[in-house]
Amino acid sequence: MNLFNTITKTKVQFEPVEKEKISIYTCGPTVHERLNIGQFRRYAFTDLLIRFLEYQNMSVNHVVNITDYDDKTIQGSQKAGLSHSQFTDQYVDAFMEDMKTLDIRLAQTYPRVSKNFDEMVDISRDLLKRQNAYEKLHSLYFDVSSLPEYGQFSKTDLEKIKHGATVDLDDYEKLNPKDFTLLKRVRLSELKRGVGIKTEWGNVRPSLHLQCAAMAMKYLGNHFDIQTGSRELIFPHHENEIAISKAITGSSLANFWLHCDPVQYDGSLEEDSIFALHLDRLADQGWDAKTIRFWLISGHYRKTLVLSKKAMRDAQYTLDKINRCLETLSSIKQGDSFEDIDQFIYDINQGFTTAMQDDLKISGVISSLLAHIKTINRHINQNKINPENAAKILGAFEQIDTVLHVFEFGKKMKYSNEVHDLIKERESARCNKDFQRADKIRLKLLSMGIRIHDKKVNRND
């Protein structure tokens, strides 16, 4: 399998450190607010990766950190008048709930920053000893000049970056603006609220870079397989994480670094900004969780994904098309035998596997699926599929869905009695050629959200 590795900036054959036992770290959320839909792309593409590795019989140990201790959570809890854990717990719960809704495979571990301070302090001490870090006014900073390869990962030329472009340099006391914070001394007001970890340098809180580096090393070791994140994390966050790791162990932490592109929102979903588009806001607008999931994974992870009403509608159309076909397959009672069914099943599997192995090329997956759907529909039209054939095909799609998790199988329609009666009534009206009445019932059913497809299985759309 090939993956695009940010270290080499090319697609590289993926070789696990330990055969069939893959370790993956993903930069998790800061729990000071509800995540918006765009922020889930990172987890969605990682989900696709993990489930595909598992599809290929590898076991995956996945770690996602929870940043529950930083400026935003500290300030947020103060503002809300809650204890730190009261404040962060509600957003951790919301995050887990949303992950469940999006059917994203749970990680093995969700370590919290607030429970792993010791390792962060240890690393800082180590860096200080190795002279990769220095103390200034009760804060610890990483000395970037101590690491010659610093900047290579993100292709950053330190001579050319504009210092203070995104932060106010007056807030820092670093020797060199290029250096980054490891441990930051807490403010007096924060100290009074009990914020901060006691160390030999004073009461401090860890920087994001130190947090991720420490937890990745603690839970997955000094050298593991894959770290995933979003493109905007490459610099400075991942560059700094790698710097910490290189200074201590000489390794770049993960062998493979994967980054997804951002989500762009066009403003067509009842909110001006994507920040207001939480998962439940989309649900309120009638978008199904599987549709949202399909939209999230349906664009290649290294391409900008557009969020719009049309994009959601397109996702739903495509998904419906596939589901309709699957549903028809499952209702086949008799038919002629599908010629070369085993070859056809093989093609379905190959189409999927080949595309996924090429850096998770989901567009290839979808176009292959749709081509096969077309073939299946053609055979159904000609009555050239028998129940055994249908079961085999459904089995192949079920296999694929262990990775995608978007299809609907054997969705048993729980029609109310009223609906049942209406459908029956319409059938008899049609038999009696009372089409006016039949059409009226069809309209009524439609208003109830039920679409009638004659000569096919009645289904709820």
Partner RNA sequence: GGCGGCUUGGCCAAGGGGUAAGGCGACGGCCUGCAAAGCCGUUAUUCUCCAGUUCAAAUCUGGAAGCCGCCUCCA
Q: Restricting to residues 280-319, which ones interact with RNA according to CB under 7 A? A: 299-300, 303-306, 310-311, 314, 317-318
The yes or no reply on residue 363 touching RNA (CB under 7 A) is: yes
Indicate whether 62 belongs to the interface with RNA (CB under 7 A): no
Q: Among residue numbers 135 through 164, which ones bind RNA (CB under 7 A)?
A: 139, 144, 151, 154-158, 160-164
Between residues 20 and 267, which has the closer beta carbon with respect to RNA? 267
Interacting span for RNA (CB under 7 A) from 80-88, 120-128, 218-226, 373-381? 373-381
Spell out the SS3 assignment of the chain: CEEEECCCCEEEECCCCCCCEEEEEECCCECCCCCCHHHHHHHHHHHHHHHHHHHCCCEEEEEECEECCCHHHHHHHHHHCCCHHHHHHHHHHHHHHHHHHCCCCCCCECCEHHHCHHHHHHHHHHHHHCCCEEEECCEEEECHHHCCCCCCCCCCCCCCCCCCCCCCHHHCCCCCCCCEEEEEECCHHHHHCCCCEEECCEEEEECHHHHHHHHHHHHHCCCEEEEEEEHHHHHHHHHHHHHHHHHHHCCCCEEEEEEECCEEECCCCCCCCHHHCCHHHHHHCCCCHHHHHHHHHCCCCCCCEEECHHHHHHHHHHHHHHHHHHHHHHCCCCCCCCCCHHHHHHHHHHHHHHHHHECCCHHHHHHHHHHHHHHHHHHHHCCCCCHHHHHHHHHHHHHHHHHHCCCCCCCCCCCCHHHHHHHHHHHHHHHCCCHHHHHHHHHHHHHCCEECCCCCCCEEC
> For residues 41 and 230, is the Cβ–Cβ distance under 8 A?
yes
CB of 18 vs RNA, minimal distance in Å = 27
Q: Which is nearer to RNA, 72 or 100 (CB)?
A: 72
Given the rule CB under 7 A, which of 97-105, 337-345, 383-391, 437-445 is the region that contacts RNA?
437-445
- Taking residue 225's Cβ as centre, other Cβ atoms within 10 Å add up to 22
- By CB under 7 A, what part of segment 405-424 binds RNA? none
| Contact call for residue 46 and RNA (CB under 7 A) | no
For residue 323, what are the CA distances in angstroms to 39, 338, 410? 27, 20, 10
* Chosen residue from 34, 41, 178, 405 binding RNA by CB under 7 A: 178
Neighbours of 61 (CB within 10 A): 18
If the CB atoms of residues 174 and 392 are measured against RNA, the closer one turns out to be 174
Instruction: Tell me: does residue 276 bind RNA (CB under 7 A).
Output: no
Asked if 275 is part of the footprint of RNA (rule: CB under 7 A), the reply reads: no
Nearer to RNA, 28 or 196 (CB): 28
Total residues contacting RNA by CB under 7 A comes to: 86
Stretch that binds RNA, among 15-23, 85-93, 116-124, 367-375 (CB under 7 A): 367-375
Give the shortest CB-59-to-RNA separation in angstroms. Answer: 26
Q: Which of 5, 23, 30, 252 binds RNA (CB under 7 A)?
A: 30
Shortest distance (Å) from residue 249 CB to RNA: 20
- Minimum CB distance to RNA, residue 48 (Å): 14
Residue 262 binds RNA, judged by CB under 7 A: yes
> For RNA, which is the closer residue by CB, 59 or 268?
268
| Cβ nearer to RNA, comparing 345 with 380 | 380
Nearer to RNA, 225 or 239 (CB): 239
71 is an interface residue for RNA by CB under 7 A: yes
Binding residues for RNA restricted to 78-137, rule: CB under 7 A: none
Sheet of strand 139-142: strand arrangement? 133-136, 139-142, 180-185, 202-206, 197-199
* Contact range with RNA by CB under 7 A, out of 273-281, 283-291, 378-386, 402-410: 378-386
In the complex, the smallest distance separating the C-beta of residue 140 from RNA, rounded to whole angstroms, is: 10
Of positions 5, 29, 213, 265, contacts RNA by CB under 7 A:
29
CB nearer RNA, residue 116 or residue 207: 207
Environment class of residue 67 by beta-carbon count within 10 Å: exposed (0-12), middle (13-18) or buried (19+)? buried
- Interacting residues with RNA between 190 and 249 (CB under 7 A): 207-208, 230-237, 239-240
Q: Which stretch binds RNA (CB under 7 A): 84-92, 245-253, 330-338, 432-440?
A: 432-440
* Given 58, 197, 370, 396, the residue binding RNA (CB under 7 A): 370
